[in-house]
Amino acid sequence: MELYAVIMAGGVGSRFWPRSRGKMPKQLLRIFGEHTMIQDTVRRISKIVKTENIYIVTNKIQKAEIHNQLNHIPLNNIIVEPFGRNTAACVGLASVLIGNYNKDAATIVLPADHIIRDEAAFLDIIKKAARFAYESKGLVTIGIQPTRPETGYGYIQREDQEIEENIFKVKTFAEKPNYQTAESFLESGDFVWNSGMFIWRVESILKEIETHMPDLMDGLRKIQKSVVKGDYEKTLEVVYGMLRSISIDYGIMEKSDNVYVIRSTFGWSDVGSWEEVYQLSHRDEFGNSLFGNYFIEGVHNSLIHSEDKFTACIGLANLIVINTDDALLVVNRNNAQDVKKVVDYLKKKKMNDFL
C-alpha cells in the first residue's frame, strides 16, 4: 500500500476577510505560529507520505504563492483548476491524475487550513484509516468526537455496531444544525463532527463517482485521456467548465452505502471564523486576544488584530477588530460567521480591490 495525499487549497476564506483575499487566502496566511496553514498541513502529512506523493489542488491565482511557500513539492504536483467546481470535481481530478501513475494508491484527502493540536494521534488515525480503506475498499471519513454543541460544523451519525475500534458504518450526514439540534446530537452520543477529511483507494472513489455522478466521470475520462494525448491543458479548460459544482459530501458520501467513519480526538479545528481564532488563541486576564500594533483600555473578551496600522480601542467588549492596510472589520463575536456577507457585498459592488 502506497500512500498519496491530496490537499485541497482553492478556497478564499471569506469569513477571514479582510486578511484573507483572493490572492492570499486563509490557507496561505500565518494564523498561528511561524508557518502558514498550508505549510503546517504539508509538514504534518509529510511524516507518513513521500514528498513526491503529495498533490495540491488550487487555482491559477494562488499557484505561484503556493509554489513559493512549498518549493520542495514538485511543481507538477500542483494541480490547477481552471474554474472552481467544488470538492467533487476537485477530488475526481486529483484521483484520475494520481491513477495515471498508481491505480492502487491509497489517497488521503485533506483541506489545507485545519488546526491539529495532537499530531501523533492524528497520524495514527490516518494510518489506521488508510489501512482500513485499502483493505475494505470503502470510503472512510474522519469524525471528531464533539466537545460542545457546535453550530458551525456539519455532523455525521454513526451506526451502533463497531466494526473495528472506533470505526463505524455511517448512518447519515447532517448539515450545520441550530443550537438546540446540536445539543440533541451531543446528548445522543452517536454523532461526530464532520472534519472534511477522507481516505480511500483511487479505484474505490472513482468507482463511486461512476455510480453516483456518471456525468462527472465522463468528464474525468476525457481529462485522463488528454494526459496521454498531450492536450491536457486545453481539454481541462473545456471540460471543467461544464462540470457541476457540487461537494463530495452531497455528490458521493451521502449516496454511497460504502462509507465509514473513524471516531477521533486529536485537537482539531477547521478555524472557520475569527471567533475560532479567538477561541484557539492565548488570552490575557481580561479575556483579550491581541496581535500587532494597538492601544487598549477597558477592553474585555475581544480579538484585536492590527497589522501595520495603529489601532486604539477603548471601552469595548465581545468584539472582533481586524485592521489591515486597506480595510477595517469590526464585528460582534456572536456574528463572526456573517463576515462572508461583506465579501458578498464587495463582489456585488465589483469592489475587486478589496477582494
Give the pLDDT confidence score for residue 228 in this predicted structure. 87
Count the domains in the chain.
2
Q: 283 and 259, same structural domain? A: no
User: At residue 343, does pLDDT exceed 90?
Assistant: yes
CB 158 within 8 A of CB 190: yes
Q: 265 and 278, same structural domain? A: no
Q: Which of 218, 247, 269 is the last residue of a domain?
A: 269
Q: Which of 253, 269, 285 is the last residue of a domain?
A: 269
Range of the domain at 69: 3-269
In this structure, the strands spanning 54-59 and 3-8 are parallel
Give which of 143, 256, 151, 147 is closest to 192, Cα–Cα: 143
Write the burial class of residue 21 (CB in 10 Å: 0-12 exposed, 13-18 middle, 19+ buried): buried
Residue 263: give its domain's CATH number.
3.90.550.10
Q: 184 and 95, same structural domain? A: yes
CB 77 within 8 A of CB 56: yes
User: At residue 327, does pLDDT exceed 90?
Assistant: yes
Q: 287 and 332, same structural domain? A: yes
Q: 242 and 288, same structural domain? A: no
Give the pLDDT confidence score for residue 33 in this predicted structure. 85
pLDDT tens digits for 25-42? 999 999 988 999 999 999
Going by pLDDT thresholds of 50, 70 and 90, the confidence category of residue 116 is: very high
Q: What percent of the chain has pLDDT over 90?
A: 92
pLDDT tens digits for 273-311? 999 999 999 999 999 999 999 999 999 999 999 988 999
Q: Which of 269, 285, 312 is the last residue of a domain?
A: 269
Q: 308 and 230, same structural domain? A: no
Give the pLDDT confidence score for residue 110 in this predicted structure. 98
Q: 188 and 306, same structural domain? A: no
Give the pLDDT confidence score for residue 197 in this predicted structure. 98
Q: 296 and 179, same structural domain? A: no
pLDDT tens digits for 243-272? 999 999 999 999 999 999 999 999 999 998
User: At residue 19, does pLDDT exceed 90?
Assistant: yes
Q: 324 and 281, same structural domain? A: yes
Q: 290 and 347, same structural domain? A: yes
Mean pLDDT of 312-338: 96
Q: 113 and 258, same structural domain? A: yes
- Give how far the C-alpha of residue 143 lies from the chain's centroid of Cα atoms, to the nearest Å: 14
Q: 318 and 192, same structural domain? A: no
Mean pLDDT of 158-179: 95
pLDDT tens digits for 134-148? 999 999 999 999 999
Give the pLDDT confidence score for residue 276 in this predicted structure. 92
Give the pLDDT confidence score for residue 44 in this predicted structure. 98
Write the burial class of residue 172 (CB in 10 Å: 0-12 exposed, 13-18 middle, 19+ buried): exposed
pLDDT tens digits for 186-231? 999 999 999 999 999 999 999 999 999 999 999 999 999 999 899 9
User: At residue 61, does pLDDT exceed 90?
Assistant: yes
User: At residue 12, does pLDDT exceed 90?
Assistant: no
Give the pLDDT confidence score for residue 307 in this predicted structure. 83
